[in-house]
Amino acid sequence: MGADSSKFVDFATQLCLSRGKHALPDLDLQLPNESARTTTLISLEHLNVNVPEWDSANDRFWLKAMGLALDSRAQGVCQTVQSAGGSLKGLVWANAGLQQIHMPLGEPPPMEAQKPPGVVGLAYADIMGLRATLREAGVNFSPVPLKDQMSNLQGVGPVALQCTSPTGVKIYAHGIRSETWLTPRGWMDCTAARDQGLGLPSEEASQCMGMPYIRLQCPVGSTEGLARFYKHVFDTQSEFRQGAEGLECWVPIGVGQWLIYQEIAAEVPYDGYHIAIYVNRFVSAYRAARGLGIVWNNPRFPNLTYDSEDDAIRHHEFRILKMVDPESSQVLCEVEHEIRALSHGGFCAKAWLEQEPA
């Protein structure tokens, strides 16, 4: 892509300096009306999966083969968590356009390696180039069966290939037409996005342009309750679709992303991976989650607890673990969500907030 890497590092500095500039966590970003989505979920920003160590296999897969780019903020975050007593031994953040895969290193068993039960969708402007880097890196890849093409994604082609990370994270790679990043307001030319102050502090530009979805397996009969959960906590209207394996609940995020729950007729394991989502109406979401009794402190991050609304506001985030049907209080499944206010220092489109009407 020929990007000037110094721009990314400069942007990292700006992000750090601007943290705390916004005292209120309830900053909202307007989405274009034409998106026809009812959602307060603005950005599905990262998937966090522990890996035992940053060995040559992980380096080859995520950076050389898949074209993600190291994020320069990870070391500082790692030191903060370690200073608070966290058990991680290292931390790698790999950027995929404006989204990320977070990989804490050296967590003790049974948390040393994690993978979501499902697939992570990644987008590439150059699928032929991706095939070449996969071959050069010795990474096996294969076609995806026609019945599972995931082809109803705005601006994104059907799945071009599938592959799996050294620790079992399954990837579907999709083609997009040009070098665009997936922003909360949809696909946007990378240069134009940088000019508007969007970006993540990559040491070099990522060849991966974004993460349009994560699709997670869930137990049969749970999608209706999950839809009610997102409506109750986040005032977000999900869609139901019939997928290759069964009924699916598609939760809209921003203009171009989805969190998809796919019912399967089998037990669904949960190993402690998490996802991070930036939201509008942060305080309302916290209050709704508290009302359901599902606000959760992850002991892996002893510096981050959310026992009160003030705690959540101070950290610009809170976490939930158990997904509960608000009608029945039944626990449907476990998926740790890291819920962040747009005032959180890591938000990729902070520059847009400056332009929002007060």
Q: Which residues bind Fe ion (CB under 5 A)?
A: 48, 276, 338
Query: Nearer to Fe ion by C-beta: 70 or 190?
Result: 70
Please answer whether residues 12 and 66 qualify as being in contact, where contact means their C-beta atoms are separated by less than 8 angstroms.
Answer: no
CA distance 286 to 295: 8
Query: Nearer to Fe ion by C-beta: 68 or 276?
Result: 276
Please answer whether residues 172 and 118 qualify as being in contact, where contact means their C-beta atoms are separated by less than 8 angstroms.
Answer: no
CA distance 2 to 169: 29
CB of 303 to Fe ion, least distance (A): 13
Burial of 295 (C-beta count, 10 Å sphere; 0-12/13-18/19+): buried
CB of 142 to Fe ion, least distance (A): 30
Give the sheet arrangement for strand 331-341, strand by strand: 69-70, 90-96, 99-105, 41-48, 274-279, 331-341, 317-324
Query: Nearer to Fe ion by C-beta: 48 or 343?
Result: 48
Token pair recorded at residue 147? 């019945």
Query: Nearer to Fe ion by C-beta: 22 or 300?
Result: 300
Of 145, 146, 167, the residue nearest 101 (C-alpha): 167
CB of 271 to Fe ion, least distance (A): 15
CB of 318 to Fe ion, least distance (A): 12
Query: Nearer to Fe ion by C-beta: 164 or 298?
Result: 298
Query: Nearer to Fe ion by C-beta: 263 or 336?
Result: 336
Which residue spans within the chain are E strands per DSSP? Answer: 41-48, 69-70, 90-96, 99-105, 118-124, 159-164, 170-175, 180-183, 186-189, 208-219, 239-242, 247-253, 257-264, 274-279, 317-324, 331-341
Query: Nearer to Fe ion by C-beta: 107 or 338?
Result: 338
CB of 46 to Fe ion, least distance (A): 6
CB of 264 to Fe ion, least distance (A): 25
CB of 38 to Fe ion, least distance (A): 26
Query: Checking DSSP bridges between strand 99-105 and strand 170-175, what pairing results, if any?
Result: unpaired
